[in-house]
Amino acid sequence: MAITKTTNLISIQVVPHELEDGAPIVTVVLEDVWDDPDDDQLPIIKRREITRGRAEPLIDLIPRTPVDDLPQLAQDICNLVWWYD
């Protein structure tokens, strides 16, 4: 058998920005699992945390914060809490 990698969405946290007029910060926790049923040394499980804030187009020189590498639910939440004109 081959090793397979599965990524699971564990949590999404939205917290207010330190500044009153700042956009919320979004933190996504993912769990990556590498497994092979024929290998007794596996599975290997690794958690990772990704934190993103809303891009300021005039300051950051990018039109939007990239979120296409996040699970769809996290993308949807980011699009709800961050506004772009």
CA distances from 10 to 1, 25, 26, 41, 54 (A): 27, 17, 14, 24, 22
Render each residue's pLDDT in the chain as its tens digit; 85 residues: 689 999 999 999 999 877 766 788 999 999 999 999 989 899 999 999 999 988 776 665 666 788 999 999 999 999 888 875 5
The Cα 54–Cα 30 span in angstroms is: 20
